[in-house]
Structure 1
Amino acid sequence: MAMNESVSSVLNEQINKELYSAYLYLTFADYYEDRGLKGFANWYEIQAKEEMDHAMAIRRYLLDNDFTPTMEAIAKPDKTFQNDLEPLEAGLEHEEYVTSLIHHCYEVAHEVHDVRTMKFLDWFVSEQGEEETNARDMITNMKLFGSDPKGLYDLDREYQARVYTQLTALPL
């Protein structure tokens, strides 16, 4: 059974949104790198890699369902920051936006009774919940400890310990 055109279209758009997310998170990493906060930079470099993984997973899903993705231009991130909290707040805002995009993809699949795509998107729905929780926790930690140099140092060390784990396959 061929994939519904509206489903393939929103999934193809989502690839671009995931790649934009990677670009955006690299700008966050660069901000923190310039500030000497290598742990925060590490966190967002890993976030960027995860967004690339998400784009690649959606691309693979489309290819496996006889749809050839179209790669579109990726927008240039335009965020600038005045303090160490602002990238974290922008990160939460962006994750909430991505959640709305994933929900939209799910709704489009649901409308045409594409159960296979809905099952594929279940992982992304769960992942977005985790991403929003992590973003909120980072904001809370920055507000609690970030104004104290020792607290900021400890947070930075904690985030420096984060290790990238490549997404190998989504459960289908």
Structure 2
Amino acid sequence: MLSKKMEQALNDQVKWELWSSYLYLSMSSYFQDMGLVGFANWMQVQEQEEKFHATKFYNYTIERGGRIKLQTLEAPENTWKSPLIAFQETLKHEQGVTARINALMDLAIKEKDHATASYLKWFIDEQVEEEANVQDVINKLKLVEGNPSALYLLDKELAVRVFTPPTTAA
């Protein structure tokens, strides 16, 4: 059984993951409008991952006897000055998600909630991958800055990304 404090923290995380999904959908639309369908695809895959994460937190909360209380989502930004800035904002956002997951782990440890601490390990590892994936795109965007032909090739590369849900439950 979850403590009320942990239940609230997990509900807040469900909201955060859903808002992350909303943000990446907005970024996908921004890239679609620019004609960068590969970049849009990358963000749509990211959006699917965030919905998957929200669902995992939702299900876990219920499995542990908690109650889900969905919260209002604020509208995300819908324009950025450049693809590079959009991805820099993405990295900043993912670093914020990492901090939130770490705070959940700290709470689980403080409350001696070993099941939740064990559960959160998957998300901690996932955030390392999330930040690295975004940083990889940022590095490439910096390399192609000012070169439309190279941006076109990077767009083609990002178009092949697909969402593959993990096969093992965490």
Give TM-score, length-normalised by structure 1: 0.95
CA RMSD of aligned residues (A): 1.2
- Matched to 1:72, the amino acid is Q
Q: Displacement, 1:167?
A: 4.2
Matched position secondary structure for 1:57: helix
1:25-61 per-position Cα deviation (integer Å, ceiling 9, x unaligned) = 1111111101100000000001001000000000000
Map of 1:83 onto structure 2: 82
Map of 1:116 onto structure 2: 115
Matched position secondary structure for 1:110: helix
Q: Distance in 1 between matches of 2:81 and 2:146?
A: 14
Map of 2:36 onto structure 1: 37
Q: Distance in 1 between matches of 2:166 and 2:52?
A: 6
Alignment of 1:4 with 2:3, yes or no, is yes
Matched position secondary structure for 1:60: helix
- Matched to 1:62, the amino acid is T
Q: Distance in 2 between matches of 1:112 and 1:135?
A: 33
Map of 1:14 onto structure 2: 13
Q: Distance in 2 between matches of 1:38 and 1:79?
A: 16
Q: Displacement, 1:166?
A: 2.7
Whether the 8 Å contact between 1:120 and 1:170 is mirrored in structure 2 is no
Whether the 8 Å contact between 1:7 and 1:108 is mirrored in structure 2 is yes
- Matched to 2:138, the amino acid is I
Map of 2:105 onto structure 1: 106
Q: Displacement, 1:3?
A: 1.2
Whether the 8 Å contact between 1:39 and 1:159 is mirrored in structure 2 is yes
Whether the 8 Å contact between 2:62 and 2:68 is mirrored in structure 1 is yes
- Count of residue pairs the alignment pairs up: 170
Q: Displacement, 1:79?
A: 5.2
Whether the 8 Å contact between 2:15 and 2:73 is mirrored in structure 1 is yes
Whether the 8 Å contact between 1:15 and 1:59 is mirrored in structure 2 is yes
Change (3 A) 1:111 1:128: same
What are the ranges of 5 or more consecutive residues in structure 2 without an aligned counterpart? none
Whether the 8 Å contact between 2:21 and 2:48 is mirrored in structure 1 is yes
What are the ranges of 5 or more consecutive residues in structure 1 without an aligned counterpart? none
* Percent identical: 35
Whether the 8 Å contact between 1:11 and 1:58 is mirrored in structure 2 is yes
Q: Distance in 2 between matches of 1:155 and 1:164?
A: 18
Q: Distance in 1 between matches of 2:79 and 2:168?
A: 35
Q: Distance in 1 between matches of 2:146 and 2:160?
A: 21
- Matched to 1:93, the amino acid is K
Map of 2:127 onto structure 1: 128
Matched position secondary structure for 2:163: coil
Give TM-score, length-normalised by structure 2: 0.96
